């Protein structure tokens, strides 16, 4: 029988992001402080485009969107939003929802596992995810607890625990 293992991934439920975006669009359309400032939020390909007539209103739309993401249990670490840029008479923010663990970040996680984790645990980088295997399930659970306690600048989920 193969050794117990689990995968470390960084995935986002696109449907939940879409729901949060739609809720934000509804709130922006109905809230009094957004009346007459041309505020909007919409998908622009894979990115999210936020627009408003002032820099403050544009940032406020982003805050409302972040609030909706948090309510839907989506980590704000997956949201990569820029600063408001002036474009003609309006300000725009382009936000991106990132998925997958980059090679550089996967190496950071693997190093933490090797340095601080139990002996006999092998992390392997597989594309945009990390497979962690070991002899004992208890060791794997200790690694999950270690990584949950560690602060990374990207979101982590644990899947395929077997």
Q: What is the pLDDT of residues 85-143, one digit of tens each?
A: 998 899 999 999 988 898 999 999 999 999 998 888 999 999 889 999 999 999 999 99
Alpha-carbon distance of 162 to 160, in angstroms, equals: 6
Calculate what percentage of the chain has a pLDDT beyond 70. Answer: 99
DSSP state of 127: T
Q: What is the mean pLDDT of residues 46-71?
A: 94
Question: For 10-48, what is each residue's pLDDT tens digit?
Answer: 899 999 999 999 999 999 999 999 988 899 999 998 899
pLDDT of residue 36: 86
Asked whether the predicted pLDDT for residue 69 surpasses 70, the reply is yes
Alpha-carbon distance of 88 to 24, in angstroms, equals: 24
Domains and CATH numbers, the chain: 5-11+101-159 (3.30.70.860), 14-97 (3.30.70.990)
The structure tokens 């449907």 sit at 15
pLDDT of residue 1: 56
Radius of gyration of the chain (CA): 20
Alpha-carbon distance of 123 to 114, in angstroms, equals: 8
Alpha helices (H) in 3-119, listed in sequence order: 14-30, 55-71, 103-116
Q: Pick from 56, 31, 28, 55: which is nearest to 42 by CA?
A: 28
Decide: helix, strand or coil at residue 81: strand
């Amino acid at each position: 029988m193969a050794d117990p293992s689990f995968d470390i991934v960084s995935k986002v439920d696109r449907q939940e992001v879409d729901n949060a975006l739609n809720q934000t669009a509804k709130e922006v359309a109905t809230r009094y402080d957004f009346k007459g400032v041309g505020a909007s939020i919409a998908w622009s390909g894979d990115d999210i485009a936020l627009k408003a007539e002032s820099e403050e209103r544009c940032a406020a739309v982003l805050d409302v969107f972040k609030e909706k993401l948090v309510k839907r249990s989506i980590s704000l670490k997956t949201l990569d939003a820029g600063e408001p840029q002036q474009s003609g008479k309006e300000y725009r923010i382009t936000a991106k929802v990132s998925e997958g663990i980059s090679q550089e970040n996967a190496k950071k996680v693997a190093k933490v596992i090797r340095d601080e984790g139990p002996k006999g645990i092998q992390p392997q980088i597989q594309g945009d995810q990390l497979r962690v295997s070991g002899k004992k399930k208890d060791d794997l659970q200790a690694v999950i607890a270690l990584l949950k306690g560690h602060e990374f600048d990207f979101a982590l989920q644990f899947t395929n625990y077997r």
